[in-house]
Amino acid sequence: MNKKSFGVSFWMLLAALVLYLNYSQSKKTPDEQISYNMFRTYLDAGKIVAVEIVKDEFIKGSYRSEGKSVNFKTPYLDDSELIKDMQKNGVDYSGKTGGKWLSNLIFSFGPILLFILAWFIFATKMSGGSKQIFSFGKSRAQNAVKVETTFADVAGCDEVKDELVEIIAFLKNPKKFEKLGGRIPKGVILYGEPGTGKTLLARAIAGEANVPFFSASGSEFVEMFVGVGASRVRDLFQMAKAAAPAVIFVDEIDAVGRHRGAGLGGGHDEREQTLNQLLVGMDGFEPNTNVIVVAATNRPDILDPALLRPGRFDRHIHISKPNIKEREDILKVHAKKCKMAPDINLEVIARRTPGFVGSDLANIINESALLAARKDKDAIELVELEEAIDRVLAGPEKKSRVMRDSEKKIICYHESGHALVAKLTPDGDTVHKVSIIPRGPALGYTLQLPLEDRFIASKDELVNKIKTLLGGRAAEKIVFKQVSTGASNDLEKATEIAHSMVTQFGMSSRVGPAVFKDSQNSVFLGMDISKGSRISEKMKQIIDEEIRKIIIKAEREAEIVITKNRKYLDALAQELEKREMLDSDDLDKIMNGEKLAPIIEPPAKKENPSDAEIAEGNIKASPELKAGDEKKTHDNEQKETA
């Protein structure tokens, strides 16, 4: 909305408010209503002071009563003697030929009409034009035919691309499959964790298939007006059917495709009406319409079952996190846009980023480029990539955060406890880095990286994870005889793992091989209330006891490891306090009893170097030295030569 239209609307609303207040103020002092006979009586008695005659409506004026002037109002009658009598009694009178019905109408309905007009102007400007204010039911899908993204820009999901290539082949040459009796799929849903590349794959479909591509977001269908979402769905499907073969892409379909009947009230709402129209639209296509609906979501568990059945979304394609080879390919795609140092091996970076998705890897390359530019470098080096990984994992460094020496010592032993337990735990993940430099909300961190990608975990591996998490707390108890608040996040993660072991993975002998999910794990509150909890109070108590048992046992084992290797804990903490960061090689040297390389401090810059330092060649002579200083330096050099 521009400034001009805003100013017009503002002044119109202000005028309407003034008129309304004026009219309401005039209504606060109404005139006394008297009959016409009473008016004639007062006139004959000489009490009438002034009169205003409004023909065809009323007569109003004032009369004297007990020394006071009283306003009155009486109906108008066709009295031919009235004017003569008023002249006879010396009454000051006036008259109007027209009535006030028009002014009363303006005062009564003018503010409302002005408000409606101002709202019309505002809504028109916000909608982009006078025509668009009545086009709520039109689809806002974008026809993205000229998308430049192709499958060459998508790395790390070859199997998914093979499935989508088949969809594109359906669209380009449907007769190839129809002659064998095959039916073109009506819908494909891409689901996976955020950042795995679902929207990028959909854009690649548009770039690979030379067909109209209609893209829309799930939230675009839902509006404040009832029926707008369903109307937009109908319009979108009509557009795609007219342009067939075509592809419809609905991003974040969970905004409109949630499970029906999951609300507390159980009533019908706008979103469910939109979903019903979407179901009818997908199922209403003729067999050979050649229109495919591609949807993306990271919450497939909340979608309505009717939306996922064959005949609507025939294919469900899961996009998982990339493995080490796929991470390397993704890094290569993003590294093409940046200038990298020739000695950088992206395979090393891929090994150090387990669990990262495509968006995380793209962010690493971008952050490293920003760091290199900040340092005025010509290319991205390994140091920037390492710093970018730490930034993505834990946030930027906060070296300005000043800590007391006692707090710093506690953090050193805490992180050393994590590292020591992880190093001495069999089949544990490799400790890559230990740091006490604050990053984000963390005062320090211990980074563990697996040697290879893992897809399942055994009971011993989960217990070892809990033991490593509690290693920092155990070190504090042994060294300082008390614990601090620094282990709160460790306890939260350990409790979460233990809870999953007992309630989901069947790793407790007392609970047994059964899954127990309470109402807090469900996504719909309405369903939880209707179904109720399936866990008895006795079983809840057993679950709590088993979780506590696992955590206490893991903490005792961590304390035993630290007690037996106290000398290594002290050595790690001392070196960590000096250097603030230790890598895997430093940890191995400390565990083997070797000494680390001395810390090299950067040479301090001296503004006025002495003559002896310049003569010895430690400091380069300044071009601003005087001639006498240069001669003195030369003489010193000759003496030293002699």
CATH of 324-393, one of 1.10.8.60, 1.10.10.10, 2.60.40.1510, 1.10.3720.10: 1.10.8.60
Task: For residue 108, give the amino acid letter.
Answer: S
Mean local confidence (pLDDT), 525-535: 57
- Measured in whole angstroms, the distance separating CA 377 from the mean position of its chain's CA atoms is 33
Query: Does the annotation count 415 as an active-site position?
Result: yes
Strand ranges (E), 390-506: 430-435, 445-449
pLDDT level of residue 584 (50, 70, 90 thresholds) = confident
Q: What is the CATH number of domain 142-319?
A: 3.40.50.300
Please give the pLDDT value at position 204.
Answer: 84
Please give the pLDDT value at position 343.
Answer: 87
User: Is domain 405-591 annotated with CATH 1.20.58.760?
Assistant: yes
Mean local confidence (pLDDT), 301-329: 86
Please give the pLDDT value at position 507.
Answer: 93
Beta-carbon contacts of 102 under 8 Å, excluding residues fewer than 6 positions away, are none
The radius of gyration computed from the CA coordinates of the chain, to the nearest angstrom, equals 41
Q: What is the pLDDT of residues 363-393, one digit of tens each?
A: 999 999 999 999 899 999 988 998 898 888 8
Q: What is the DSSP letter of 520?
A: G
Residue 101, pLDDT above cutoff 70: no
pLDDT level of residue 432 (50, 70, 90 thresholds) = confident
Q: Per-residue DSSP letters for 599-622? A: P-PPPPP-SS--HHHHHHTSSPPP
Q: Under a CB-based contact definition with an 8 Å cutoff, are residues 186 and 282 in contact?
A: yes
Please give the pLDDT value at position 638.
Answer: 40
Q: Per-residue DSSP letters for 155-212? A: -S-HHHHHHHHHHHHHHH-THHHHTTT----SEEEEEESTTSSHHHHHHHHHHHS-S-
Q: Give the orientation angle of helix 101-127 with respect to helix 3-26, to 10 degrees.
A: 150
Which residue did the predictor score with more confidence, 346 or 172? 346
Which residue did the predictor score with more confidence, 185 or 356? 356
Please give the pLDDT value at position 476.
Answer: 94
pLDDT level of residue 23 (50, 70, 90 thresholds) = low
d(CA 189, CA 309): 11
Q: Which pTM value belongs to this model?
A: 0.65
Mean local confidence (pLDDT), 131-145: 48
Mean local confidence (pLDDT), 217-222: 70
CA angle (201 as vertex; 164, 230 as ends), nearest 5 = 90
Domain boundaries defined on the chain: 3-103, 142-319, 324-393, 405-591, 611-641
Mean local confidence (pLDDT), 411-420: 94
Please give the pLDDT value at position 282.
Answer: 75
Burial grade of 592 (CB within 10 A; 0-12, 13-18, 19 or more): exposed
d(CA 143, CA 215): 7
Choose among 114, 102, 103: nearest CA to 18. Answer: 114
Residue 600, pLDDT above cutoff 70: no
d(CA 499, CA 518): 12
d(CA 158, CA 317): 12
Instruction: State both tokens at 518.
Output: 């309470």
Q: What is the pLDDT of residues 487-513, one digit of tens each?
A: 899 999 999 999 999 999 999 999 989
Q: Under a CB-based contact definition with an 8 Å cutoff, are residues 211 and 253 in contact?
A: no
Which residue did the predictor score with more confidence, 402 or 603? 402
Catalytic residue among 415, 546, 555, 575: 415
Please give the pLDDT value at position 532.
Answer: 54
How many percent of the chain have pLDDT more than 70?
73
Which residue did the predictor score with more confidence, 62 or 548? 548
d(CA 118, CA 132): 17
CATH of 3-103, one of 3.40.50.10470, 3.20.20.140, 3.30.720.210, 3.40.366.10: 3.30.720.210
Q: Say how many C-beta atoms besides its own lie within 10 A of residue 170's C-beta.
A: 20
User: Range with the lowest mean pLDDT among 129-133, 136-140, 181-185, 578-582?
Assistant: 129-133
Order across the sheet with 430-435: list the strands.
445-449, 430-435, 581-583
Q: Under a CB-based contact definition with an 8 Å cutoff, are residues 262 and 524 in contact?
A: yes
